[in-house]
Each structure stands twice: as structure tokens, then as C-alpha cells.
């Protein structure tokens, strides 16, 4: 294995681990928000989850987190794209 490919693979693992951590953190935040809404308004579990999901993307308090997640997602795609050039033909 070439050194550049090994470094790319290691970088890909690190970026993916960060991305997965942020995605699970987002899901936990949405789940907590849905549980809090369910306690306030017992309108049903599915309705409160949808409200919490879409509310997460509208909430100004989560703006920095969303931008960080977007940046890591773009970085993940860039690392994947760079891998096509590093691996070479075949």
C-alpha cells in the first residue's frame, strides 16, 4: 500500500468518526427535545418527534452545531473524492 493511500485512509477514518459522533449527537438532541415536548403536550410520540426534528433545523441555538456538521459533511465528501485520485487506476 502506498504511503499516500495509507494516510488518506487514516484521514478518512478520523473524519468519518467525527461525522458519526456529530450525527449521533444531533439525534440525541432531537430525541431530548421531542421528550420535552411530549411532556408539555401529550399529542403523540410521532407528532412530537417531527416537530422536534424540524424545530432543530429552525432553532437559532443550534445554528453553530448545524454549520459544524455541514462543514464536516463537506469534508467527508472531499476526502472521499480525493481518494479516487490517490488510489490510481484499477
What is the C-alpha to C-alpha distance for residues 12 and 19, in angstroms, rounded to an integer?
Answer: 10
Which tens digit of pLDDT belongs to each residue from 24-56? Answer: 999 999 888 888 877 766 666 777 778 888 888
What is the C-alpha to C-alpha distance for residues 29 and 19, in angstroms, rounded to an integer?
Answer: 15
Q: Decide: pTM greater than 0.85.
A: no
Amino acid at each position: 500500500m502506498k504511503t499516500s493511500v495509507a494516510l488518506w485512509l487514516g484521514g478518512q477514518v478520523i473524519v468519518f468518526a467525527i461525522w458519526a459522533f456529530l450525527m449521533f449527537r444531533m439525534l440525541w438532541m432531537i430525541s431530548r427535545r421531542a421528550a420535552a415536548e411530549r411532556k408539555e403536550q401529550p399529542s403523540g410520540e410521532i407528532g412530537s418527534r417531527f416537530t422536534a426534528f424540524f424545530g432543530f433545523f429552525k432553532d437559532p441555538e443550534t445554528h453553530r452545531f448545524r454549520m459544524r456538521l455541514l462543514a464536516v459533511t463537506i469534508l467527508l465528501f472531499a476526502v472521499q473524492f480525493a481518494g479516487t485520485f490517490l488510489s490510481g487506476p484499477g
